[in-house]
């Protein structure tokens, strides 16, 4: 039987935080929206999974921006009540450990407090520390799209104007303010939250990603589910249609540079005014008709490098009292360029603790993520059943043991109390984060044009973590900017 034709104002492809944000913004201004998702469930990196009934986050774990840009966006989306921060204010709950110098840095929230703490750790570096923190705030202030109110008032061109710092690599800037590689590493540690080495990351982008985290760091109660559940509730109220297990399989109607209908993998034809692609740039290019994409754009996308992926460990901690939400970044070297290099043995691990409710019980949980490049576990890619492959399981057990040893080094109070429930390699990421399994999409580079906003097909747009600023905040912001483009001024109210 023929599938009926579907008709929407807007088709949003990909249901990560950028797709959910886009769908809400459009539907809130009265448009009829269809959101399609390739996987069997919505959420992308915001998804959680349960092991022995205990929920664990897979992607999103912590963020900056509460009390600032993130709170503004959550308010505009009607999510503010549902997404509740658990601040990592106490310096003991936000730490950076450098293994090669056996040094631990406890980082308080707030620019002034962070500055004071850093000056104690790095005597004689006051000027560099002040300069760095001022640069973060200065770039935030000079970036119009980081102020939601300006989205409604400024011309689009002014909103997106470039800064000189867009053309300066972060490493060049760090070298200009200090020769102390430990200080450089502590200042730029946020690079581990976007996976682009300081040698190529634009200073502006780095500061946009870092400033919110230096002002306040927070985990979110019930993690990614807080965003997904809030979205689902509102999607019902706003009549957003959602189709999971669905992707675009072909172009159904095209007139010159405009495509007004596509075929969906379930067989239906979907007609729309706009199509917003909240997916990886490589997937975007594979959807657009070959003749519509200029060769230069195609080549630029082919050249994009992938950020790293993770080997992940999910555990409970057997403690008498529930643990505090906390983050420790464990770096084996004080050199972020080496850590974020596929050829290096240096690596970094994020260790997160928190408490989850399971029925009436509170369970202390620990997740740890060690950077690993897509490809490192490739020898098992074609294993018939990875679960039953002894060498793959040995590899995972070996890595998990090594990670637990490191965790016990920086959390001696948990020694012997960590009960590993599950581990995952880059192969798992490749399965659940199509098409490449990288944690943060592409590496952001000085001089490289990201695929963002209007695409070569006139009514198609790109948003997502690879387009503007990496991380949840940046992915959401990319959708706000394209929302402003599509809906004109005054599309959001506070």
**Residues interacting with ligand FAD, by CB under 6 A?**
13-19, 36-39, 44-46, 59-63, 193, 247, 278-279, 283, 310, 369, 433-434, 439-440, 464-465, 470-473, 475
Name which of 76 and 469 has its Cβ closer to ligand FAD. 469
By CB neighbour count within 10 A (0-12 exposed, 13-18 middle, 19+ buried), where does 252 fall? middle
Name which of 168 and 268 has its Cβ closer to ligand FAD. 268
Angle of helix 69-77 versus helix 17-28 axis, rounded to 10: 50
- Min separation Cβ 432 and ligand FAD, Å: 7
Terminal C-alpha separation, the chain: 47
Give, for 106, the enclosing helix (H) or strand (E).
strand 103-106
Could you give the CA distance from residue 216 to residue 62 in angstroms, rounded to a whole number? 10
Write the CA distances from 183 to 128, 136, 175, integer angstroms.
9, 16, 11
Number of Cα atoms under 13 Å in the Cβ half of residue 451: 33
Could you give the CA distance from residue 412 to residue 407 in angstroms, rounded to a whole number? 8
- Min separation Cβ 69 and ligand FAD, Å: 12
Could you give the CA distance from residue 423 to residue 321 in angstroms, rounded to a whole number? 25
Residue nearest ligand FAD, CB atom distance: 16
- Min separation Cβ 451 and ligand FAD, Å: 12
* Phi, psi (deg, nearest 5) at residue 315: -145, 165
Could you give the CA distance from residue 193 to residue 482 in angstroms, rounded to a whole number? 24
Could you give the CA distance from residue 466 to residue 423 in angstroms, rounded to a whole number? 26
Name which of 39 and 230 has its Cβ closer to ligand FAD. 39
Could you give the CA distance from residue 43 to residue 64 in angstroms, rounded to a whole number? 20
Could you give the CA distance from residue 133 to residue 353 in angstroms, rounded to a whole number? 27
Task: Name the E strands within 126-257.
Answer: 218-220, 241-243, 248-255
Name which of 96 and 129 has its Cβ closer to ligand FAD. 96
- Min separation Cβ 43 and ligand FAD, Å: 6
Single out the residue of 33, 481, 18, 4 nearest to residue 274, CA to CA: 33
Residues in the chain: 494
- Min separation Cβ 404 and ligand FAD, Å: 18
- Min separation Cβ 306 and ligand FAD, Å: 12
Name which of 183 and 243 has its Cβ closer to ligand FAD. 243
Name which of 35 and 177 has its Cβ closer to ligand FAD. 35
- Min separation Cβ 225 and ligand FAD, Å: 13
- Min separation Cβ 263 and ligand FAD, Å: 13
- Min separation Cβ 13 and ligand FAD, Å: 5
Could you give the CA distance from residue 342 to residue 287 in angstroms, rounded to a whole number? 29
Name which of 63 and 204 has its Cβ closer to ligand FAD. 63
Name which of 13 and 377 has its Cβ closer to ligand FAD. 13
Name which of 178 and 438 has its Cβ closer to ligand FAD. 438
How many other CB atoms sit within 10 Å of the CB of residue 489? Answer: 12
């Amino acid at each position: 039987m023929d599938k009926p034709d579907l008709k929407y104002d807007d088709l949003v492809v990909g249901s990560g935080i950028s797709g959910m944000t886009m769908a809400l913004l459009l539907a809130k201004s009265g448009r009829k929206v269809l959101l399609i998702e390739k996987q069997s469930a919505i959420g992308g990196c915001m998804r959680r999974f349960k092991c022995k009934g205990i929920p664990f986050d897979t992607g999103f774990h912590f963020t900056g921006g509460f009390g600032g840009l993130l709170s503004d966006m959550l308010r505009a989306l009607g999510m503010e009540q549902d997404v509740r921060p658990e601040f990592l204010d106490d310096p003991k709950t936000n730490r950076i450990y450098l293994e090669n110098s056996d040094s631990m840095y406890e980082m308080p929230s707030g620019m002034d407090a962070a500055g004071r703490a850093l000056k104690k750790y790095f005597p004689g570096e006051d000027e560099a520390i002040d300069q760095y923190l001022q640069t973060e705030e200065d770039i935030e202030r000079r970036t119009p799209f980081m102020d939601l109110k300006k989205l409604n008032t400024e011309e689009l061109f002014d909103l997106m104007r470039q800064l000189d710092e867009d053309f300066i690599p972060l490493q060049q800037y760090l070298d200009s303010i200090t020769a102390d590689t430990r200080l450089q590493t502590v200042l730029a540690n946020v690079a581990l939250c976007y996976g682009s080495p300081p040698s190529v990351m634009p200073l502006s982008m780095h500061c946009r990603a870092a400033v919110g985290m230096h002002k306040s760091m927070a985990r979110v109660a019930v993690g990614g589910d807080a965003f997904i559940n809030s979205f689902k509730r509102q999607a019902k109220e706003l009549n957003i249609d959602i189709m999971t297990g669905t992707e675009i399989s072909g172009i159904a109607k095209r007139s010159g540079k405009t495509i007004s209908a596509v075929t969906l993998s379930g067989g239906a034809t979907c007609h729309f005014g706009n199509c917003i692609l909240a997916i990886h740039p490589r997937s975007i290019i594979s959807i657009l008709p070959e003749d519509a994409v200029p060769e230069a754009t195609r080549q630029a996308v082919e050249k994009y490098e992938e950020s790293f992926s993770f080997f992940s460990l999910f555990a409970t901690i057997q403690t008498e009292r529930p643990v505090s939400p906390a983050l420790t970044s464990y770096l084996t070297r004080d050199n972020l360029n080496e850590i974020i290099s596929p050829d290096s043995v240096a690596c970094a691990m994020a260790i997160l603790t928190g408490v989850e409710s399971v029925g009436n019980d509170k369970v202390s949980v620990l997740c740890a993520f060690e950077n690993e490049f897509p490809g490192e576990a490739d020898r098992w890619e074609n294993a018939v059943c990875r679960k039953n492959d002894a060498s793959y399981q040995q590899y995972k057990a070996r890595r998990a043991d090594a990670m637990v040893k490191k965790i016990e080094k920086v959390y001696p109070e948990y020694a012997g109390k960590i009960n590993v429930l599950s581990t995952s390699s880059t192969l798992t990421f490749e399965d659940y984060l199509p098409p490449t399994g990288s944690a943060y999409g592409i590496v952001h580079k000085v001089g490289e044009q990201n695929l963002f906003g209007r695409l070569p097909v006139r009514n198609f747009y790109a948003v997502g973590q690879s387009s503007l600023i990496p991380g949840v905040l940046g992915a959401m912001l990319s959708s706000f900017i394209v929302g402003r483009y599509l809906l004109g001024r005054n599309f959001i109210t506070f």
